[in-house]
Amino acid sequence: MTSNREIHLASRPEGWPTDDNFRLVETDVPTPGPGQIVVRNQYMSVDPYMRGRMNDVKSYVAPYALDAPLDGAAIGEVVASESADVAVGATVLHGLGWREYALLDATAARPVDPTVAPASAYLGVLGMTGLTAYAGLLEVAAMKPGETVFVSAAAGAVGSLVGQIAKLKGAGRVVGSAGSPAKVERLRALGFDAAFDYHDGPVRDSLRAAAPDGVDVYFDNVGGDHLEAAISAMNLHGRAAICGMIAQYNATEPPAAPRNLALVIGKRLTLRGFLVNDHNDVRSAFVSDVAGWLRDGTLSYDETIVDGIENAPAAFLGLLRGENLGKMLVRV
């Protein structure tokens, strides 16, 4: 192949992104220089945090540049190498998704074994997604056996793993919220003790019914009314791991909630934001635990796969609309 297709950011979204914010561009397949490799991407990840990078604002990661390819986690096969450390044919995990062929320094790629698990799993349950769930629940929120855990966006890539890990680590009760009856049923099949569709009424009321004795740990992927409901439901010394706030990523006005932050004082709550890269020290424990659970069948994971690099923007927009079950991936 001599042609390489990649997705560029054509313009910065105002509110919800549209197809017009993206452009499919054809370029030449790159040639590696000394110490570099070329990877033919097989799968790429689309993730909620990417919406923030489309804005030209200072954040924990640099914004995407206009008229340049986006990037993100991807996995693929090395098809050309000028590195003694990474051979042609190796399967590697790296950060240059949104394109068919990626040119990168060999030191920026992490070889993985596709015979241990499907390649796509390294972008989800065995990758950043899984580590986010594991570290957020056990390190940031410090869940203890017997506690009640509430997870928002619980049918998503991270949330569905949080709920299962909580049960495997001895949680007394696990409650999840999701955006459709089918997703609620999936959560129950995954072992959640209770689940509700947040469209059915105020989250505060649904959570109170699902966790009548209160919540000890809240894993937040949504923010807004979910965070407000969790604060109201949390018991003394409750802890919240703030992973994401997808409810306001496309908002053009300040969020209406939470309006009850004063409760944090009397309840002595801990609300702690985190980034997964701060918790690489638990990666070995994470891999050991998750690999064992996958082997014995006690942990399940879902994937929603969209085919074709040209459909990567549609996959990303679908993710923001909640059309995915589990991890949203593009099969390049």
Which tens digit of pLDDT belongs to each residue from 94-145? 999 999 999 999 999 999 999 889 999 999 999 999 999 999 999 999 999 9
Classify domain 3-124+302-331 by CATH number: 3.90.180.10
pLDDT digits (tens, 9 = 90+) for 14-51: 999 999 999 999 999 999 999 999 999 999 999 999 99
Query: Over the stretch 246-255, which tens digit does the pLDDT of each residue have?
Result: 988 888 788 8
User: Which pLDDT score is estimated for 1?
Assistant: 65
What pLDDT shows up at residue 138?
98
pLDDT tens, 173-183? 999 999 999 99
Comparing C-alpha atoms, which of 38, 237, 268, 250 is closest to residue 142?
237
Q: 37 pairs with which residues across the strands?
A: 81, 104
Instruction: Flag whether pLDDT at 276 surpasses 90.
Output: yes
Token pair of 282 as six digits = 């638990």
At 325, list the tokens: 């079950």
Round to whole Å and give the CA distance between 332 and 184: 30
Which residues does residue 175 pair with via DSSP β-bridges, in sequence order?
150, 194
| Mean pLDDT (the chain, rounded) | 96
Q: For 193-200, what is the mean pLDDT?
A: 98
How far apart CA 286 and CA 277 sit, in angstroms, is 13
C-alpha to C-alpha distance for 15 and 145, rounded to whole angstroms: 41
Instruction: Kindly list the domain boundaries of the chain, sorted by start residue.
Output: 3-124+302-331, 128-277
The CATH number of domain 128-277, selected from 3.40.50.720, 3.30.470.10, 3.40.50.150, 3.40.50.300: 3.40.50.720
